[in-house]
Amino acid sequence: MTNSVETQNLVKNFGPVQALRGVSLKIPAGSTFGLVGPNGAGKTTLFSIVAGFLRPTSGTVNVLGAAVAGENLLGKLSVLPQDATFRKGVPMGNQLVLCARLQGYSKAQAESEVQRVLELTGMEGFADRVPDKLSHGMAKRMAIAQALMGDPQIILLDEPLAGLDPAQARRIRLLIQQEAGKRTFLISSHVMADIEMLCTHVAIIKAGEIAAQPSMEELTRREAVAVFTLEKQPDPGIAAVFEAIDYVSKAEVRPVERKLQLTVRTDLKNLDEAVADLIKVLSEKQIAFVGIQKGTSLEDAVLKIT
Amino acid sequence: MALDKGHVRILTGSEFKLMLRSPQGILAMTFLGIYAGWVLSKLVGNADFINSLSSGSLSEEGTIVMAAVKWLANLDDDLMARLFVEHSPFVTMLFVMVAFMMPFFTMVAALDQNASDIGSKGIRFFLPRTGRMNLVAGRFLGVSLFWAGVVVVLGVAGILVALAVDEHHSAAIIFVDGLWFILGLFLIALPFIAFMALCAVVTGSPLLAITMGIGCYLGVALMGGLGGWIHEGLKVIRFVFPATLRYDLMLGSTAEAVIALLAMLGYTAVYLFGAGWIFKKRDL
């Protein structure tokens, strides 16, 4: 599989602050690639370098086989910048038509392309509005609309669902899912559920470095968790019983919550099969439980790494 | 990075339309309109006196006015005589007065260009679609086109006033002087529009850009003036801006006018190149 984006030892300094410390990343063509990490980890800086907004202090960025910021990328890459705002006082339709015209459309084609992307984002009927009169969510959808114009090979979306109401977030999520595979997406988000739902690959960035770059499946399936809510407060000594089981990598007792959290290595045993076994053990030990929660989330995995 | 003519044309048109309703465009137009209107009203109100300046025999009052114009425009006696006798004194007076303030009005009109888009990061909507140099060139040309329109309107008003009140010069002379007046004022404005393009990409804020622009202009004028008193060689500081050459654009001497014209275009090219170079290199 070829890569749409490759970065090598990217470093970016803002004065004394080192925002990126040697980031090397490969984003396969056609993938939906999630970039996650805590605030200030360097996600937006990395995005901005890939998009050509920022110049790296050192290191290289290759997008579609060309050095970034080359004019040969124009129209092939589109971006939803996180904190960019449209020009005040100018109707959105005019601003989007200008974007479309710069993308190579004639005036008539540009108007029809703008109409298409406004419909995709549910913003048709707002072309005459000026940005000052749009809510935060509406402005975000306008910005998403401009990113969907034309036929870009790579779409960079920085926090695409932040600030959207649930219905609109679902709409945009569906849009991304429909387009997935046809083009490469690079998505940054704090909402792990979104990344988990949309992305095929993920990179975890922490303090300006790539902390991990596993496949989504690898990240979320490597270990699974079964949490039993017990009827009575458990004896802390019970953890040792479960830790003795070969496929249980960790047993944790939370007496106040009456919970017994067991981390299962799924490469040794499937979670469902493991849970059935664990229920048997609980039954043998005459420990009653009132609830089971299965599986691990990307959020758990990311929190563990970061 | 080569310019894309199509993109530059689109950006020029867009910037021109924006200027027509932008606060800075309206403000600069209003300032210039009020100032030029005031100058024109004074010229009309003192038409007899201005006409007398063409006669060659000056009253005491006329001598004082001529001395003031001579000092302001840094002209020699021979040039002064030609500008007031061979050419319409109304057009000459209007040019001297308007050219003096032209850099300020121009800088106000041209304060934004890419500045607010850099500040709001709205420039990021354009960067994946067009080259950075296209943005600098397109917006410079859009502002220039708008300001050229304003200067043409002012020039036409000047020509009409001169035709109505000038008693010593033919319509043909007034018309040619008027056309040169328009071209001259526009040439004075061009380097300042380009300089503001430079300030805009350096500061990324319209307010900081105008502060930097006017600050540099006044600073250079002050340093050039004071420095000139201290040491003759320091007068060269004044040539950071082409304002020193603006009165050479008057038709008194063709050779000087042509040199001044080329100098204005040269300054414009240098400032614009600087703006493009910084914009290309900087983080956006």
- Model pLDDT for residues B38-49, shown as the tens digit of each residue: 999 988 888 888
Number of domains in chain B: 1
| Top-confidence residue, B213 or A222 | B213
Contact yes or no for B283 and A53 at CB 8 A: yes
Extract the tokens encoding A52. Answer: 């050509």
CB atoms within 10 A of CB A197: 15
Inter-CA distances, A126 with A97, A131, A132, Å: 13, 10, 12
pLDDT of residue A73: 78
Structural domains of chain A, with CATH: 1-76+152-214 (3.40.50.300), 85-151 (no CATH), 222-305 (3.30.70)
Query: Which among A52, A71, A103 has CB closest to B1?
Result: A71
- In this prediction, residue B132 carries a pLDDT of 93
Angle between helical axes of B132-165 and B254-281 (0-180°, round to 10): 150
In-domain check, residue B136: yes
At residue B251, the pLDDT reads 65
Shortest CA distance to A31 belongs to which of A206, A209, A216, A160? A216
Any chain B CB within 8 A of the CB of A97?
Answer: no
Domain for residue B118, yes or no?
yes
- What is the rounded CA–CA span in Å between residue A304 and residue A287? 29
CB pairs under 8 A between A and B: 70
Given CB atoms, is A78 within the 8 Å cutoff of chain B? yes
Distance between CA atoms of B1 and B133, rounded to whole angstroms? 7
Nearest C-alpha in B relative to A81: B124
Dihedral angle sign, alpha carbons of residues B123, B127, B131, B134: negative
Residue B167 forms part of a structural domain: yes
Domain hosting B104: range is: 5-45+86-281
Interface test with A, best of B5, B124, B283 (most A CBs within 10 A): B124
Helix (DSSP H) and strand (DSSP E) numbers for chain B: 11, 0
Interface residue of A10, A77, A101, A148 to substitute, partner B, most B CBs within 10 Å: A101
Query: Is residue B70 domain-resident?
Result: no
Cβ pair B125:A73 closer than 8 A: no
Any domain includes B50: no
List Cα–Cα distances, A212 to A193, A256, B194, in angstroms.
18, 33, 48
Name which of A202, A232, A194 is nearest A218 in CA terms: A202
* Number of C-beta neighbours around residue A75 at 10 A: 18
Judged by CB atoms closer than 8 Å, whether chains meet at A53 and B284 is answered as yes
B208 inside domain: yes
Q: Closest Cα to residue B86, out of B170, B187, B179?
A: B170
Judge whether A73 is closer than 8 Å to chain B, CB to CB: yes
> For the whole model, what pTM was predicted?
0.83
B86 falls in which pLDDT band (50, 70, 90)?
A: confident
Chain A residues whose beta carbon lies within 8 Å of the beta carbon of residue B127: 51-53, 79
Flag whether B216 is in a domain: yes
- What residues of B are in contact with residue A95 (Cβ under 8 Å)? 125
Please give chain A's pLDDT, 306 residues, in tens: 588 899 999 999 998 999 999 999 999 999 999 998 888 888 899 999 998 899 999 999 988 887 765 566 788 899 999 889 999 999 999 999 999 999 999 999 999 999 999 999 999 999 999 999 999 999 999 999 999 999 999 999 998 988 888 888 889 989 999 888 889 999 998 777 778 788 888 888 888 888 877 766 666 655 677 788 888 887 778 888 888 888 887 788 877 777 777 776 655 567 778 888 888 888 888 888 888 776 665 666 666 666
CA distances from A167 to A122, A163, B21 (A): 11, 12, 37
Give the integer Cα–Cα distance in Å for B137 and B120. 20
In a domain, B78, yes or no: no
- Cα Rg for chain B, rounded, in angstroms? 20
Smallest CA–CA separation between B10 and chain A, in Å? 7
